[in-house]
Amino acid sequence: MKLIYFVESYVAGGSDKIANILLDNLNIKNIQLLLNKRADKKIILNTNKKITVKLYSLITPAEIHEKVNKFKGNNLVYFILKIISVFFIYPLIFYSIIYFYFILRSSKSSHFFSHNGGYPGGIYNGTSLMAASLIPSIKYKFYAFHSNPTKYRNYLFLFDFFWDKIIEKTSKIITISKAASVRLVELRFFNKAPIFIHNGLIRRRLKNFSSSIELRILHVGYFDRNKNQILLLKSLLKLTSKNLYNIHLTFIGKTVDKKVRNDFDEFLKNHNLNKYVKVEGFIDNVIPYYYNNDLLICSSFVEGFSLSILEAMSVGLPIISTDTGGVNEQIKNGKNGFVVKNNNSNDLAKKIQYFYDNRDCIEKMGKESHQIFNDKFGIDKMIHNYNSLLGF
């Protein structure tokens, strides 16, 4: 047996960590990683298993959109480039099926696994799967994505309809939360809910809980609009206006969207919040930060099944998260943390203040987090489920 493991692109986040774990633990020795030449390989290739890597150099639609979006400040230029990109991208999509067909035809593989870091992003995750479906030797095809589904686009109704139908017809679809599985049927064109396999991580020792005057809060995630870090700053401003000063926020994550980061920095400066906040940027090993903080906050608009929440649970942190994706499968509201309204700084500030006023609940809810993680989200369970599904 031979497995082709396809990746379109990554930022340093949860999806690539799961890909790394799977590549290292699947019960098959012959794996070829088909990877975008321009993808960040720092994490994805950090595996103990010997894997053959094949690079493809086809420019992705996401890269084209990124280049066009740089001209958003000039309405006329942006409009013209947007029109040009539409006429360029869709022929490119159909060409990519042929492109990947010739790459895959000589692989002599039996399994094809398309690992999509977002949905409905990862266009080549779909076209490479379609190419694999044209090759008789590739008998088993799987399509996994690691985000929360978004609704089909009205102006591309037919395109999205046929896209979903082809993917459902040619592969077994995997989501990472029950919520994502249900929403696929609600928002897209799938006939039945796909299977879901929760992400899993290694078990870790429970942190030592020490009483401190300062409430130490951690946020882990790259800086872009979706992660919505500025929501925490707005909540912090509400707390300091009530003379609650013993709070410190640490942000860890690579800057992906410079405008988002600039708006974040400007808010910090304009409201004199710098003394309460530290921004670390990208960190290879985040685990020590979980041990050194009291609370993790996830402020995202969209999450499939948050890896930062799982990492925090694995060491025993309570969690506050916006109500998105599969977080309700990770957080038992009032038991190991709280789920708050999406993008609501008042709701978030109230829950932060709860921990500020009730420090004993940090240990109580943290231990509950650790127990839930050990019961449901260990790495062994995830690996077993994938190996069984793939037939290894």
* Residue 299 and residue 353 in one domain: yes
Q: What is the DSSP secondary-structure string of 258-309?
A: HHHHHHHHHHHHHTT-GGGEEEEE--S--HHHHHT-SEEEE--S--SS-HHH
Residue-level pLDDT at 118 = 64
In the numeric block, which tokens belong to residue 65? 């959109």
The token pair at 68 is 């066009």
8 falls within a domain: yes
Rg (CA), the chain: 22
Query: Which pLDDT value is given to residue 385?
Result: 96
> Do 166 and 232 belong to one domain?
no
Do 25 and 5 form a contact (C-beta atoms < 8 A)?
A: no
Does 85 reside within a domain? yes
Is residue 210 assigned to a domain? Answer: no
Which positions ≥6 away from 167 have C-beta within 8 Å? 126, 129, 130, 143, 173
Q: Are residues 153 and 267 in the same domain?
A: no
- 220 and 173 within one domain: no
Each residue's pLDDT expressed in tens, for the chain with a length of 392 residues: 899 999 886 554 678 888 889 999 999 989 999 998 887 777 677 777 889 999 999 988 878 887 888 887 788 888 888 888 888 888 999 999 999 999 999 888 999 999 987 654 688 999 999 999 999 999 999 999 888 788 888 888 998 999 999 999 999 999 999 999 999 999 999 999 999 999 999 999 999 998 788 999 999 999 999 999 999 999 999 999 999 999 999 999 999 888 999 999 999 999 999 999 999 988 989 999 999 999 999 999 988 899 999 999 999 999 999 999 899 999 999 999 999 999 999 999 999 999 999 999 999 999 999 999 999 999 999 999 999 999 98
In this prediction the pTM is 0.89
| Alpha-carbon separation of residue 103 from 32, 41, 62, 99, 276 (angstroms) | 12, 20, 21, 7, 52
Count of domains forming the chain? 2
Same domain (yes/no): 236, 165: no
Q: Which residues pair with 279 in a beta bridge?
A: 251
pLDDT of res. 13: 62
Predicted pLDDT of residue 232? 97
- Tell me, yes or no, whether 14 lies in a domain: yes
Give the pLDDT score at 11.
54
The Cα–Cα gap between 108 and 276 comes to 56
CATH number of the domain encompassing residue 135? 3.40.50.2000
Q: E-strand spans in the chain?
A: 3-7, 31-36, 52-56, 111-116, 140-145, 172-175, 195-196, 215-220, 247-252, 277-281, 295-298, 319-322, 337-340
3-class secondary-structure state, position 143: strand
DSSP state of 155: G
pLDDT of amino acid 26? 94
- Domain contains 274: yes
CA dihedral 123, 126, 130, 135 (to 10 degrees): 110
350 and 256 in a common domain: yes
Residue 207, domain member (yes or no): no
| pLDDT at res. 270 | 96
Judge if 224 and 178 occupy the same domain: no
Contacts of 186 (CB under 8 A, 6+ apart): none
Let me know whether 240 and 196 are in one domain: no
In this structure, the answer to whether residues 195 and 113 fall within a common structural domain is: yes
Clarify whether residues 193 and 256 are in a common domain.
Answer: no
Q: How far apart (Å, rounded) are the C-alpha atoms in residues 52 and 313? A: 34
**Which is nearest to 194 in space by CA: 182, 209, 206, 205?**
182
User: Whats the size of the chain, residue-wise?
Assistant: 392
64 and 132 housed in the same domain: yes
Give phi and psi for 362, each to the nearest 5.
-65, -45
In this structure, is residue 206 part of a structural domain?
no
d(CA 200, CA 211) in angstroms, rounded, equals: 30
Domain, as residue range, for 228: 215-376
**What separation, in Å, do the N-terminal and C-terminal C-alpha atoms of the chain show?**
9
Residues 6+ apart with CB under 8 A from 197: 174, 175, 176, 382, 385, 386, 389
74, burial (CB in 10 Å: exposed 0-12, middle 13-18, buried 19+)? exposed
pLDDT at 261: 96
Q: Are 372 and 383 part of one and the same domain?
A: no
Could you tell me if residue 287 is inside a domain? yes
